[in-house]
């Protein structure tokens, strides 16, 4: 007799699993949102959508997905594109390593797989940025292969459905939820089933106030039966994120401003920005700005005026950024950290991909020089 077991020995019979699959797929076929990546079997398009949807909501992704595929409709066009253009289209979507990996991955598919996305787990996972989730999602949705795809929405649904006590954000929790997802996967329609579970998490079994009354799985749901919906999923408390004080200098010379390019790896890799950095303990902000510019680009500047303060939150830290307009005094640019630089006119800034934190103050630069 088949069963699935949560960490507290809750069981489900095979016949119940089949009924549950049927209810879920019936619900999905009737109520799912029309989304462009659901109207295609093109593995490249599905791959792009899954990469974009990682840690990002559907409504944010939609315009980026359309722009991206408008410019790079085929894997080949992406592989042949300049990375800066890819970053420009990705600008604002965040987690830029995803864009770098997708670009590298497209090149690898062209060079090593004759332009065809590998349709098996082992080969597909050799591609940069293709982890277990992306591979499972693409292979199940585009190729109909029986792989369970477990994202944040799915973990939450499973935690509630089977009253699983493992905190969803605990390291190693993925394996627990993946094991459960594998046991309930509908192997006849794995792509639809995976999408249905994700859709249920996104639209019904939401993080707050799940709508159990309209849920197709209500009669199977253990937290619903035990009246414990609010207690699941369990989470471990995260440490509060540190906040850094940053200075940024918009250095101008002959009606042009200096921008620098970050190295391709790491946070915001390959994006352009104005030079700056962390304020040292006890240091005045103006002095920090002058020092950072000297250290980073080897220029001597003086502060013209204070522009504004911008706050921005990244996943693991926050920044408070003070921005100064700086006058070039002397020196030749020599880079220490950035990999490239340009002196550009203000209206040319739009041609370069910048982090969101820089974009927040850039409108204030108009008529500054």
The residues annotated with a catalytic role in the active site are 50
Q: Rounded to 10 degrees, what is the CA torsion of 178, 183, 188, 191?
A: -20
Q: Helix-strand-coil percent breakdown of the chain, rounded to 5?
A: 45, 15, 40
With CB under 6 A, what is the number of residues at the site for ligand SF4? 15
Q: Which of residues 52-91 bind ligand SF4 (CB under 6 A)?
A: none
Least Å distance between CB 229 and ligand SF4?
5
Least Å distance between CB 164 and ligand SF4?
12
Least Å distance between CB 208 and ligand SF4?
12
Pick from 83, 229, 267, 303 the residue near ligand SF4 by CB under 6 A.
229
Specify the residue, 225 or 316, whose C-beta has the smaller distance to ligand SF4.
225
Beta bridge partners of residue 5, listed in sequence order: 11
Specify the residue, 80 or 211, whose C-beta has the smaller distance to ligand SF4.
211
Q: Which of residues 183-212 bind ligand SF4 (CB under 6 A)?
A: 204-205, 210-212
Closest CA to 60 of 49, 70, 76: 49
Least Å distance between CB 219 and ligand SF4?
8
Q: Which of residues 154-183 bind ligand SF4 (CB under 6 A)?
A: 157, 160-161
Specify the residue, 216 or 249, whose C-beta has the smaller distance to ligand SF4.
216
- Tokens (6 digits) for 28: 């999905």
Least Å distance between CB 192 and ligand SF4?
18
Specify the residue, 88 or 160, whose C-beta has the smaller distance to ligand SF4.
160
Q: Which of these segments, 38-46, 99-107, 222-230, 271-279, binds ligand SF4 (CB under 6 A)? A: 222-230
Using CA atoms, how far apart are residues 154 and 171, in angstroms rounded to an integer? Answer: 16
Pick from 218, 283, 286, 304 the residue near ligand SF4 by CB under 6 A.
218
Q: Residue by residue, what is the 3-state secondary structure of 64-103? A: HHHHHHHHCCCHHHHHHCCHHHHHHHHCCCCCCHHHHHHH
Which residue's entry shows tokens 């471990």?
Answer: 236
Pick from 224, 293, 307, 325 the residue near ligand SF4 by CB under 6 A.
224
Least Å distance between CB 30 and ligand SF4?
16
Specify the residue, 224 or 260, whose C-beta has the smaller distance to ligand SF4.
224
Pick from 223, 246, 247, 321 the residue near ligand SF4 by CB under 6 A.
223
Using CA atoms, how far apart are residues 334 and 90, in angstroms rounded to an integer? Answer: 29
Using CA atoms, how far apart are residues 196 and 85, in angstroms rounded to an integer? Answer: 34
Using CA atoms, how far apart are residues 145 and 285, in angstroms rounded to an integer? Answer: 56
Count Cβ atoms below 10 Å from residue 309 Cβ, excluding itself.
11
Transcribe 24-56 into DSSP letters: HHHHHHHH----GGGS---HHHHHHHHHHHTTS
Q: Which of these segments, 56-64, 72-80, 144-152, 218-226, binds ligand SF4 (CB under 6 A)? A: 218-226
Using CA atoms, how far apart are residues 347 and 325, in angstroms rounded to an integer? Answer: 17
Specify the residue, 154 or 157, whose C-beta has the smaller distance to ligand SF4.
157
The site for ligand SF4 (CB under 6 A) is made up of: 157, 160-161, 204-205, 210-212, 215, 217-218, 221, 223-224, 229
């Amino acid at each position: 007799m088949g069963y699935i077991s949560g960490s507290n020995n809750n069981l489900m019979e095979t016949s119940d699993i089949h009924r549950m699959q049927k209810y879920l797929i019936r619900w999905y076929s009737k109520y799912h949102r029309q989304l462009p990546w659901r109207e295609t079997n093109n593995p490249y398009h599905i791959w792009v959508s899954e990469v974009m949807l990682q840690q990002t909501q559907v409504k944010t992704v939609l315009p980026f997905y359309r722009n991206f595929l408008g410019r790079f409709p085929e894997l080949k066009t992406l592989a042949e594109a300049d990375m800066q253009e890819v970053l420009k289209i990705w600008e604002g979507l965040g987690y830029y390593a995803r864009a770098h990996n997708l670009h590298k991955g497209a090149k690898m598919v062209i060079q090593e797989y004759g332009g065809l996305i590998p349709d098996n787990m082992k080969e597909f996972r050799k591609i940069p940025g293709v982890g277990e989730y992306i591979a499972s999602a693409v292979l199940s949705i585009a190729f109909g292969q029986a792989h369970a795809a477990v994202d944040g929405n799915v973990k939450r649904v499973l935690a509630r459905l089977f009253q699983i006590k493992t905190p969803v954000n605990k390291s190693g929790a993925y394996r627990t939820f993946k094991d459960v997802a594998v046991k309930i996967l509908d192997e006849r329609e794995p792509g639809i089933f995976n999408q249905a579970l994700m859709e249920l998490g996104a639209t019904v079994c939401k993080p707050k106030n799940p709508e159990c009354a309209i849920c197709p799985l209500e009669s199977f749901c253990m937290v619903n039966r035990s009246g414990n919906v609010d207690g699941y999923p369990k989470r471990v408390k995260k440490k509060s994120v540190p906040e850094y004080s940053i200075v940024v200098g918009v250095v101008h010379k002959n009606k042009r401003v200096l921008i620098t390019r970050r190295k391709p790896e790491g946070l915001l890799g390959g994006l352009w920005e104005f030079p700056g950095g962390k304020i040292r303990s006890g240091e005045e902000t103006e002095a920090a700005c002058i020092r950072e510019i000297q250290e980073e680009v080897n220029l001597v500047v003086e502060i013209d005026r204070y522009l504004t303060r911008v706050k921005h939150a990244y996943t693991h830290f926050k920044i408070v950024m003070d921005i100064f307009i700086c006058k070039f005094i002397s020196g030749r640019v020599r880079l220490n950290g950035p990999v490239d630089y340009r002196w550009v006119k203000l209206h040319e800034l739009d041609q370069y991909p910048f982090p969101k934190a820089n974009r927040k103050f850039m409108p204030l630069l108009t008529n500054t020089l």
